[in-house]
């Protein structure tokens, strides 16, 4: 990862007992392939519809730095 925003925001959120939801991409053998990425979740407003998709950010939502592939 090229920025420390996730770590910094989690440090600030820790005081209120919260943290960002992240995903660490893994290869077929279960080894981490990249640094953690922030997950972007949508709220399901209609319970009769399928669950909304989960999007994984390609850029830091806080500073805009592109994550390394």
> Exposed e or buried b for every residue in 5-32, given b needs 16+ CB within 10 A?
bbeebeeeeeeeeeeeeeeeeeeeeeee
Instruction: Please tell me which residue, 47 or 15, carries the higher pLDDT value.
Output: 15
43: pLDDT confidence band, cut at 50, 70 and 90?
low
Query: Looking at the predicted structure, is the pLDDT value of residue 31 above 70?
Result: yes
Helix (H, G, I), strand (E, B) or coil at 34: coil
* Summary mean pLDDT of the chain: 79
Helical residues (DSSP H) of 1-69, grouped into ranges: 5-13
Q: Could you tell me the strand order of the sheet in which 54-56 lies?
A: 22-23, 37-41, 54-56
Q: Given a cut of 60, is residue 1 above it in pLDDT? A: no
């Amino acid at each position: 990862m090229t920025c420390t925003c996730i770590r910094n925001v989690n440090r600030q959120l820790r005081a209120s007992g919260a943290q960002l939801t992240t995903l660490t991409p893994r290869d077929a053998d279960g080894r981490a392939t990249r640094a953690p990425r922030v997950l972007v979740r949508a709220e399901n407003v209609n319970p009769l519809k399928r669950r909304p998709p989960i999007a994984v950010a390609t850029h830091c939502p806080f500073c805009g730095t592109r994550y390394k592939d």
